[in-house]
Structure 1
């Protein structure tokens, strides 16, 4: 093991055939979507939009921009919620045409199959190809050993999948790696970081790093990168302490960290990802999905503490929560859609939505243990809704989506009258012991103001989304002030200001709350080492220093 890695010089590449959009009116009209993301918070602008198809082309484009001192925004499918993919001038390099699966391999140290993909591959396409074993495009790709692994995988009687399940399945592989995406099943499987075994990254000068997990580790608080011209770049590792929670805020930093983790979750400010190798897991034999109904929020939280304890006989895949105001939406929309939600009564005040796997041999044992835990917290199997067949699971999915759909529709309607109105949704997470206090803090602040709000989300990771729904422009200001209040409280409790959506261009001020000015300066030092001209994804995560 060592802290040094040698960069590869970019291959000779002809960029004259790269699709380029340079006409200002065409960019503003036909390609307007490439100036925005799902946050809809910035008026993006770009001088040109480029669509490379290979790593060599992308490296050549970055090298050219570096020589001309032109800022570059790397973007994929633009499904993010923080403006990270929104250009604020300069060049856009979009990787959607780098969309090939590359090879399959086997990670001996962890005993898992892996699949490598270019950054523009959509998550939903990769998952579909893996779960259905529709991998003909991989035949003949990779080394002979990798081709042998592919043939072995195709003959496996077991089905496999990529375990991390971000809600936005149209996200691209490069994007979910750059922001360290997560989803409901992160409760069991962790975030994308936990399943990345290799990345190839192009630096702003065009040099290429091939980083495999377990090969390069920080020593004495730094990494050393030998560039293709022979010069050595020292990359300092930040010394701040990250929260012990689900977290997607700032650069990953630990004293003896793996170099690969510096780039995962870095939001594109250190380099452009051109290859990601992801781990796969077997699909469980059977899955049971349940909505358990509780007469109070406290009962629901007590159940969560109980069922997620280390000695719980039922290990959950995910644990989701719907609070009282979310229940109002579910009741209204289910009735309007003619959907009967079994066991949902007028006295129900909270839902815990969860999933666990079982075998025919242990099903009875797990169901009995679950019944005991439900009974201990004023619920039961009779006052729950279990999905055992595809029809019920689809109905559950519909009911679950009533909540965000209704919130978004309400916001759109109010925005017609009040232009500044937008949804203000929190993304904080806190340590296990702080869940109850933090949820109570949310309620006390918002109820005292009379602010309309809905609470739902990933309670298994203490990561609840509190959606504030302003009725007018004045309440938008109040909601943004609340967001700052909630962020400060999360940090006081040992939590994070961004558990899954990242920082991007939208939440830089909140990152300062978490790490202070010294932490921001340490991140800037990493950025300066790898991109001294500050050209790559400028404005993401950290402010541009005054001397740039």
Structure 2
């Protein structure tokens, strides 16, 4: 095979040995296929020597899933075509056909502006585009912080974001997948067509291979979850591959759903005099008949971090946070018409006051510009955290932050918050807490000042993981397990469950060549 497909001069591609986890790895070779045919050729060549394969997209992940530890790297960023569109009248949904390397930002831009490269689109796709242009607007709802993520990466870890509180994670919006197995064979999957029934998996690959396997079904947590394989006794096979972190197969094409876009969107940043009143607000807001699309949390230390940094050249367009503002909650309201939107805003405003908030100190965003300002505010905390850690690494190169990604069932929010606060205070660690409180999914970022504090924080993190698992929660709600959190998965599931997952892995990748190290270490 020519060197323009498989490259062995990996020293020229050193940036592809890492992702946003700040873990560095190594590989023997790398390729950048531009089509399904090229990908198949690469896999067939690698099969000759049983080379291990690490898959990559934009490498925005936080758990080391795209970091190679050996073998060959396949970077899918050049398989980046939006290849068609389909309208399903029964579901009232448009389905956009995309390759795995398409960026979320490109999907959002193309759908918003209705601008696509249609040079290779079919007549059916062109008819659907006319229908889309005459509709009242559609959008793709999954919204991870990194809009530079690829759709393949989002499918790999079942990415979510703030608005998953209303719309669900990526899994809810994938209608079909074309998956290439590690030997180059392919499987086509469509929601509602291929089913696991009674725990029995039955599939036929494009190459004619018959797959029939009785799977050992296990109990999954009933929370927002991105930990291990999704498996139920009766389910769509497509859901097994979504969130599998590239360990079962490679997405080469997907259909993703574009749902009706709300006509009215409000962003509300409310502040409360203490954390308990903020949680009171959240718990009631979840029960509203027309509940928010997103509920995001900022503890007092997160707000202090913003206060300390926002006027040092950062976020200059945001007003000052009053000293009496102890805890912050961001709520985003989506309505299909202006009257409904105003009604939602009135109900939320009354609830803010009932829970001790002051409307005079509440920020309201209506325009696109103001919404962007609040988005910058919401994303500022992890950016400031990373900046602090990068500065500390100058004197302690091995130092990294410790960030939790755990979620608990309804009814355990106050318990898990108390556990976090007491554990951090007892250990004397620096931290901030923020995140998707609507899904009981909070990110605790521990900022160690030394490797000794890092070890203390890591031990505490492990204790929290065990406690969250006992509550019926998950150790990873959106970032996945990757290589970095394989030990956490073992705290969540028994060895019998992990063995059941490995059985699934062997069905599709018997040589354990694909994304080795992800999930199972």
Q: TM-score, normalised by structure 1?
A: 0.91
Is 1:418 matched with 2:404?
A: no
Q: Which residue number in structure 2 is paired with residue 11 of structure 1?
A: none
Q: How many correspondences in the alignment? A: 519
Q: Which residue number in structure 2 is paired with residue 318 of structure 1?
A: 294
Q: Which residue number in structure 2 is paired with residue 515 of structure 1?
A: 493
Q: Which residue number in structure 2 is paired with residue 146 of structure 1?
A: 125
Structure 2 segments unaligned to the other structure (5+ residues):
none
Is 1:197 matched with 2:178?
A: no
* Cα distance change on mapping 1:120 and 1:335 into 2, 3 Å: closer
Q: Which residue number in structure 1 is paired with residue 20 of structure 2?
A: 38
Q: Conserved in 2, the CA contact under 8 Å of 1:523 and 1:542? A: no
Q: Conserved in 2, the CA contact under 8 Å of 1:237 and 1:254? A: no
> Per-residue displacement from partner, 1:210-230 (whole Å, max 9, x unpaired)?
111110111231212334565
Is 1:300 matched with 2:278?
A: yes
What SS does the corresponding residue of 1:406 show, helix, strand or coil?
helix
Q: Which residue number in structure 2 is paired with residue 492 of structure 1?
A: 470
Q: Conserved in 2, the CA contact under 8 Å of 1:46 and 1:92? A: yes
**Which of 52, 59, 63 matches 1:71?**
52
* Cα distance change on mapping 1:139 and 1:150 into 2, 3 Å: farther
Task: Between 523-532 and 217-226, report the one with greater CA deviation.
Answer: 217-226
Q: Which residue number in structure 1 is paired with residue 42 of structure 2?
A: 61
Q: Conserved in 1, the CA contact under 8 Å of 2:54 and 2:72? A: yes
How far is the alpha carbon of 1:361 from its aligned partner? 2.1
> Per-residue displacement from partner, 1:95-119 (whole Å, max 9, x unpaired)?
1111111100023442111101011
What SS does the corresponding residue of 1:77 show, helix, strand or coil?
coil
State the alpha-carbon separation in 2 of the partners of residues 153 and 291 from structure 1.
Answer: 33
How far is the alpha carbon of 1:417 from its aligned partner? 1.4
> Per-residue displacement from partner, 1:423-475 (whole Å, max 9, x unpaired)?
10100000111011101110001011111010011101111100000011100
> Per-residue displacement from partner, 1:59-105 (whole Å, max 9, x unpaired)?
22212322321111121111111111111111111111111111000
**Which of 168, 172, 176 matches 2:150?**
172
Q: Conserved in 1, the CA contact under 8 Å of 2:187 and 2:206? A: no
What SS does the corresponding residue of 1:355 show, helix, strand or coil?
strand
Q: Which residue number in structure 1 is paired with residue 93 of structure 2?
A: 112
How far is the alpha carbon of 1:17 from its aligned partner? 7.5
Q: Conserved in 2, the CA contact under 8 Å of 1:177 and 1:264? A: yes
Q: TM-score, normalised by structure 2?
A: 0.96
Q: Which residue number in structure 1 is paired with residue 355 of structure 2?
A: 377
Q: Conserved in 1, the CA contact under 8 Å of 2:104 and 2:151? A: yes
Is 1:130 matched with 2:111?
A: yes
Task: Between 147-156 and 201-210, report the one with greater CA deviation.
Answer: 147-156
How far is the alpha carbon of 1:402 from its aligned partner? 3.2
How far is the alpha carbon of 1:371 from its aligned partner? 2.3
> Per-residue displacement from partner, 1:159-196 (whole Å, max 9, x unpaired)?
22111111111111111101111111111110000000
Q: Conserved in 2, the CA contact under 8 Å of 1:164 and 1:190? A: yes
Q: Conserved in 1, the CA contact under 8 Å of 2:178 and 2:251? A: yes
Q: Conserved in 1, the CA contact under 8 Å of 2:185 and 2:207? A: no
Q: Which residue number in structure 2 is paired with residue 22 of structure 1?
A: 8
Is 1:98 matched with 2:79?
A: yes
State the alpha-carbon separation in 2 of the partners of residues 203 and 52 from structure 1.
Answer: 15
> Per-residue displacement from partner, 1:15-41 (whole Å, max 9, x unpaired)?
548533212xxx22x311111111012
Aligned-residue RMSD, C-alpha: 1.8
> Per-residue displacement from partner, 1:102-137 (whole Å, max 9, x unpaired)?
1000234421111010111111111101110002x1
Q: Conserved in 2, the CA contact under 8 Å of 1:371 and 1:380? A: no
Q: Conserved in 2, the CA contact under 8 Å of 1:314 and 1:369? A: no
State the alpha-carbon separation in 2 of the partners of residues 411 and 373 from structure 1.
Answer: 37
Is 1:220 matched with 2:202?
A: no
How far is the alpha carbon of 1:139 from its aligned partner? 4.7
How far is the alpha carbon of 1:235 from its aligned partner? 3.6
Is 1:472 matched with 2:450?
A: yes
Task: Give the alignment of 1:260-339 within 5 angstroms.
Answer: 260-309=238-287, 312-337=288-313, 339=316
* Cα distance change on mapping 1:335 and 1:85 into 2, 3 Å: closer
State the alpha-carbon separation in 1 of the partners of residues 43 and 309 from structure 2.
Answer: 50
Q: Conserved in 1, the CA contact under 8 Å of 2:396 and 2:450? A: yes
State the alpha-carbon separation in 1 of the partners of residues 183 and 150 from structure 2.
Answer: 24
* Cα distance change on mapping 1:323 and 1:57 into 2, 3 Å: same
* Cα distance change on mapping 1:227 and 1:149 into 2, 3 Å: closer
